[in-house]
Amino acid sequence: MKKIRTRFAPSPTGYMHIGNLRTALFSYLIAKHDNGDFILRIEDTDQNREVKGALNFIYSVLKDTHLEYDEGPDKPGKYGPYIQSERLPIYKEYADKLVDLGGAHYCFCSEEDIQAQREAAEKKGKGFKFVDPCHHISVEEARKRIAAGEKYVVRQTIPAEGITSFDDAVHGHIEVENSTLDEQILLKSDGFPTYNFANVIDDHLMEINCVIRGNEYISSTPKYNLIYKAFNWDIPMYVHCPPVMKSQTQKLSKRNGDASYNDLIEKGYISDAILNYLALLGWAPEDNEEIFTMDELIKRFKIERINASPAIFDQDKLGWMNGEYLKRMPLEKFHELAMPWYKKVLTRDVDLRELSMLLQTRILFFAEITGYDKKVLNEGAEEATVEHVPSIVDFIENTLEFNPELYRHKKMKTTPENSLEALYWVKERMEAFDNYSDDEALTQMFIDLAAEKGVKNGRVMWPARVALSNKASTPGGCAEIAHILGKEESLRRIDQAIKDLQNALNA
């Protein structure tokens, strides 16, 4: 059995889309599961779509995700060059050979000729399929016209009759009538190949024997196979992966606020968690386990476990998984990763390590520390709207407005009136207490205070929590908040809350 060789062949057209990264991951896992080679090839033949700097995006994402390729533009092997725009003479050579073999022909039709056929089909109410009048031109005559400087393209020649079939590892046996296939352009007039030609030539010359790509290419695969057969080349194994969708009916779309890999990293998701989640989009292990290291994925990833059904990208599920990664990392690592986010929003001198201990099990991704814009696509809307999610630690800067209604809590049996009473108790006890670095001791102080006053814990702790934060929801309770803020700032806030409550009740 030949060594498995897979490839990831992105176009340098911007940030790495989630679907593209999933394809790279599957290609890597399939190769490495069988100790094969994983190749990076840059498909830049559509020069109009190329984005400056996008090649560096590709390199950095693959490095960041540890999808280490064995050969590529910056890791030369014997099959290079690995950038398609550097292979133009190769495509010209094989396009001419394909013409000689009868698998392609030279076409001299103008855009006006093609448009005329399109308009004629529309008038008849028929679907458009270009019928090339250049079929009748002999190869010798065509090459004389080319030598004379006439503009041309190379088009694939499709048999008028018969069936082209292939087997796909995910979708099974597929048959297509040749009469339904259009004769696509293989080599453009500017000398650049189309994707539909270049990918076949490169896959063969680079000995790629397992092609992993999205299922949107299933309809084009019969045309690719006709090229393989014309050259009498071996056809690779095909693995057409299910699409990554936003919902059962909506594709992932940047316009609708769907994230690229870079967007997710900028929001503070962990690279390993993103890769782990993407592995489960269209693939399922043999048990219900969901958290895997890369080595575990390589060991367990099998082509036959890839699903044919669309994979739904659920950002809430990704958030849960990322949260699991955060919980499992050492506290010192979490604290190190959190520090740049603290610096963006916090100016007060507070106990940041205590804050990390508090947040590690409570946040799903680091942008929750700073607050972030969340894009929401409402039912029936064409474009996403933006909702701002406030910082989970915004209470630390003490910029939130006082609201007496926050002290009203049905379950805790608190009102603004009895909360004011409780805050006087709290102030007295906190002034006499010094061990603010011990959460357990702080918590016990509040519990003892409630017991002494003959009330439930919530009658004391809820007013203290609101007074310290001006919020009803915080990542920790009154003891943890007091620890983070320290004695001086905590007492200052209790004093201010007492004044604000008194003024509100007297108004």
Q: What is the DSSP letter of 392?
A: T
Candidate from 43-57, 204-218, 323-337, 435-449 with smallest mean pLDDT: 43-57
Tokens 């292939």 label which residue?
A: 166
Q: Of 465, 466, 459, 460, which Cα lies nearest the Cα of 445?
A: 460
Q: Is residue 297 classed exposed, middle or buried when 0-12, 13-18 and 19+ CB atoms within 10 A define those classes?
A: buried
State the DSSP H helix or E strand holding residue 484, giving kind and residue range, or none if neither: helix 478-485
Q: Where are the domains of the chain?
A: 331-391, 398-506
Residue 9 pLDDT level (bands cut at 50, 70, 90): very high
Spell out the residues 6+ positions from residue 332 whose beta carbon is closer than 8 angstroms to its own. Answer: none
> What pLDDT digit, counting tens, does each position of 168-203 carry?
999 999 999 999 999 999 999 999 999 999 999 999
- Helix, strand, coil distribution of the chain in percent, nearest 5: 50, 15, 35
CA distance linking residue 85 with residue 73, whole number of Å:
12
DSSP one-letter string for 396-426: GGT-SPP-GGGG-BTTTTB-HHHHHHHHHHH
> What pLDDT digit, counting tens, does each position of 299-311 carry?
999 999 999 999 9
Q: What is the DSSP letter of 390?
A: P
CA distance linking residue 427 with residue 275, whole number of Å:
49
pLDDT at 346 over 80: yes
Q: State residue 256's pLDDT score.
A: 60
**385 vs 42, residue with greater confidence:** 42
Candidate from 115-129, 213-227, 469-483 with smallest mean pLDDT: 115-129
> Is residue 156 left, alpha or beta, with left meaning phi > 0 and alpha meaning psi from -120 to 50?
beta
Can you give the pTM of this predicted structure?
Answer: 0.91
Average per-residue pLDDT for the chain: 94
Q: What is the DSSP letter of 207?
A: T
Q: What are phi and psi of 347, to 5 degrees?
A: -115, -20
CA distance linking residue 312 with residue 401, whole number of Å:
40
Fold of 398-506: Arc Repressor Mutant, subunit A (1.10.10)
Residue 326 pLDDT level (bands cut at 50, 70, 90): very high
CA distance linking residue 70 with residue 56, whole number of Å:
18
**288 vs 267, residue with greater confidence:** 267
Q: State residue 46's pLDDT score.
A: 83
CA distance linking residue 323 with residue 359, whole number of Å:
10
Token duo for residue 27: 């290609």
Residues with a known catalytic role? 254
